[in-house]
Amino acid sequence: MDQKVPLEPPPAYDDGAQPTPPATAPPQTQPPPRQRAPLPLNLPALNMIRGRRVILASASPRRRQILAQIGLTDLEIIPSTAPEDLPKSLPPFEYVLQTAAQKARNVYTATIDSPQGEPALVIAADTVVSTHSGQILEKPRSEKDHIATLTMLRDQNSGWHKVYTAVVCMAPLESLADPGYAMETHVEETAVKFDQSVTDELIVSYVRTREGADKAGGYGIQGVGSVLVEKIDGTFDNVVGLPLRATLQMIEKVIVEPAVPDEVEEAL
């Protein structure tokens, strides 16, 4: 006689636990053929840093996966230790830019004189979700708060809200001119529209997957959270956490054509 297996309750928001994975399927007798990975981009900036020390100042696995798409797979992951305590009253554009710049400088300063040698490149980023009026949304604090956040995003402003990501790239200059590094910044904005026909039942069901429990705004568009989204206006990877096109352009600027500091330009 079959025995019913009780479903495990979802993990708490404050214990870092993960949902119980589903039962694994029986192994296949013949593994599917492997698809050949695309060759890496043959660009001067990427060739110049290949095999050198490239640091991602973020623990986000999503940002790491995005950077792997341009061949940056051998990254050092060194999250910033700087406190993220800027006031949420700042406009979202300024908040993410200041936070990302703070992360980049923190990690760059901590690693520039390390025994492993100075980094060839430091990449930092920060992403926030905001309401149409500019209110920055935190990560959910509880299941009740999570449900309320997603319900509000569905119901306010016809389902529209905004996602901002700031990216900062830093690389040391060969000259000793102050401040000793090249730095490029970029802030990207994407508007996201929740489907207003999404039911309360679906929101509760999504919340209990815990996919969005660790994400600002409470959802992951690259995963199951896509069922909440009707459309976007802007780049998809920006909503995930890193606008790749803009990031590549900044890498090219700080590696191939680093900007000369203003005080040096005036002396030339």
Quick one: average pLDDT of 74-91? Answer: 94
pLDDT at 39: 82
Q: What is the dihedral of CA 106, 82, 167, 110, to 10 degrees?
A: 20
Per-residue pLDDT tens over the stretch 124-139: 999 999 998 999 998 9
113 Cβ contact list (under 8 Å, min separation 6): none
Cβ neighbours around 117 below 10 Å, total: 11
Model pTM score: 0.82
Residue 266: pLDDT band (50, 70, 90) is very low
Residue tagged active-site, from 85, 113, 126, 178: 126
What pLDDT score does 27 carry? 66
Domain count within the chain: 1
* CATH classification at residue 228: 3.90.950.10
Domain with 246 in it: 45-260
Torsion of CA 118, 123, 128, 129, to 10 degrees: -160
Beta bridge partners of 54: 121
- Is the pLDDT score of 63 beyond 90? yes
Is 156 part of a structural domain of the chain? yes
Q: Is residue 266 in some structural domain?
A: no
85 in a structural domain: yes
pLDDT at 25 over 80: no
Does any domain span residue 174?
A: yes
Q: Which residue has the higher pLDDT, 93 or 31?
A: 93
At 52, list the tokens: 């050198």
Q: Is residue 214 part of a domain?
A: yes
List Cα–Cα distances, 135 to 125, 161, 229, in angstroms. 20, 10, 20
- Does 264 have pLDDT greater than 50? no
Per-residue pLDDT, 257: 78
Q: Indicate the average pLDDT of the chain.
A: 88
Does the pLDDT of residue 117 top 70, yes or no?
yes
The whole-angstrom separation of Cα 225 and Cα 172 is 39
Residue 18 scores a pLDDT above 70: no
In a domain, 12, yes or no: no
* pLDDT score at 37: 72
> Encoding tokens for residue 37?
């990975």
**In this structure, is residue 99 part of a structural domain?**
yes
Q: Is the pLDDT of residue 43 over 50?
A: yes
The one-letter amino acid code at 87 reads P
Q: Is residue 59 in a domain?
A: yes
Which contacts qualify for 10-17: CB closer than 8 Å, 24 or more apart? 10/143, 10/208, 10/209, 10/210, 11/210, 13/140, 13/141, 13/142, 13/143, 13/146, 13/213
Q: Using 50, 70 and 90 to split pLDDT, how confident is the model at 8?
A: low
Mean pLDDT (whole number) for 195-204? 98
Q: Give pLDDT, residue 132.
A: 87
Instruction: Decide if pLDDT at 7 tops 60.
Output: no
Of 37-46, 125-134, 244-253, 257-266, minimum mean pLDDT range:
257-266
| 195 belongs to the catalytic site | no
Chain centroid to CA 250:
16
pLDDT at 201: 98
